[in-house]
Amino acid sequence: MEIVEHINNIERPYDNAVITIGNFDGVHIGHQALFHEVIEKADEINGTSIVMTFEPHPVRVLKKNGHPPLITLYEQKVELIESSGIDVLICIPFTMEFAEISAKEFVEDMLLTRIGMKAIVVGQDYTFGKDRKGNLELLQTYAKNLGFEVIVADWILTLNRSHDRISSTRTRKLVMAGKVAEVQKLLGRHYQIRGVVTTGRNRGGRLLGFPTANIILYDELCPKTGVYAVTVEFGNKKHKGVANIGYSPTFGDQELSVEVHILDFDEDIYDRKIRVNFIQRIRDEKKFSNISELSDQIKKDIVKARKILS
């Protein structure tokens, strides 16, 4: 996949460009369906499949404060879009200056002249241009006058719930509620966090008998505190594990930590970047009366995790 990180880096229009545009936070199955339609249309007209996104997320520039945590940071979003089979990813640096571009200028100058758009795939609520004044009706008017095709994708709905539209907002709420098994249905994959293994409080192996990888998170969106069955990836390997997200109430800690006990594993992975996939929530975080009681509970958690991951 070709990655273009500024519109000015496009040297010439693409051949029969078919494009979809959005933030695509989470790259959930609704987004994936848009990408699939783009690829199908590009194949039909012997064209180029293109995704346009923005970095940083426009809300961060326009609202400054109160923006929600991102489901996928840029690095993972690029990986997921590439895995969908898209030819080109155009990432527009989102600034206040960019936000001032009118709907007409955006379509004529950027999409048609620079990119060579022949068709655009959008959702039913698509808006564009300054103050989001461009809508689907205006886009279809431009299409008629300027000679390109608008393909309106159907909503992708949650399985067995015909009125629950899949969205980034819904995905985010489920992650924050710890409902990671439900999140998998929306993403088409398990929710993943990434981070670097760092030195922890030296309790896992020494006090409890269960060494843990303590993670400095890259991601902004962390599942609800509690214990989870997980898989852990680093390099080309995947391992089973149990993760604890919380404040270690038994020890009276005040800072949120993410600790992962990797099953049947004894390698040194300090300073390694790892990925943790959340499969299923096992229980709430709990304060235990002593270390022995906590250790016994961890044993039970491991048994449950093995069953879930078997």
pLDDT tens for each residue of 108-158: 999 999 999 999 999 988 999 998 889 999 999 999 999 999 999 987 655
Looking at this protein, which amino acid is placed at residue 64?
K
**DSSP classification of residue 208:** I
Domain range summary for the chain, segments of one domain joined by +: 2-152, 168-309
Q: What is the DSSP string of 228-245?
A: EEEEEEETTEEEEEEEEE
pLDDT tens for each residue of 195-234: 999 876 555 444 556 888 999 888 999 999 999 999 999 9
- Name residue, tokens 């979003």: 77
- Name residue, tokens 């007209």: 45
Whether this model's pTM surpasses 0.85 = yes
pLDDT tens for each residue of 267-291: 889 999 999 999 999 999 988 888 8
Check residue 173 and give its pLDDT. Answer: 96
- Secondary structure string (H, E, C) spanning 82-112: HHCCCCEEEEEECCHHHHCCCHHHHHHHHHH
Check residue 205 and give its pLDDT. Answer: 45
Burial 27-58 (b: 16+ CB within 10 A, else e): bbbbbbbbbbbbbebbeeeebbbbbbbbbebb
% of residues, the chain, pLDDT over 70: 91
* Architecture of the domain delimited by 2-152: 3-Layer(aba) Sandwich (3.40)
Check residue 223 and give its pLDDT. Answer: 96
CA angle 2, 80, 246 (to 5 degrees): 140
Higher model confidence: residue 126 or residue 64?
Answer: 126
% of residues, the chain, pLDDT over 90: 75
Measured distance CA(125)–CA(104) in Å, rounded: 18
Measured distance CA(197)–CA(232) in Å, rounded: 12
pLDDT band at 162 (very low <50, low <70, confident <90, very high): very low
Tell me, which fold does domain 168-309 have in CATH? Elongation Factor Tu (Ef-tu); domain 3 (2.40.30)
Common-topology check for domains 2-152 and 168-309: no
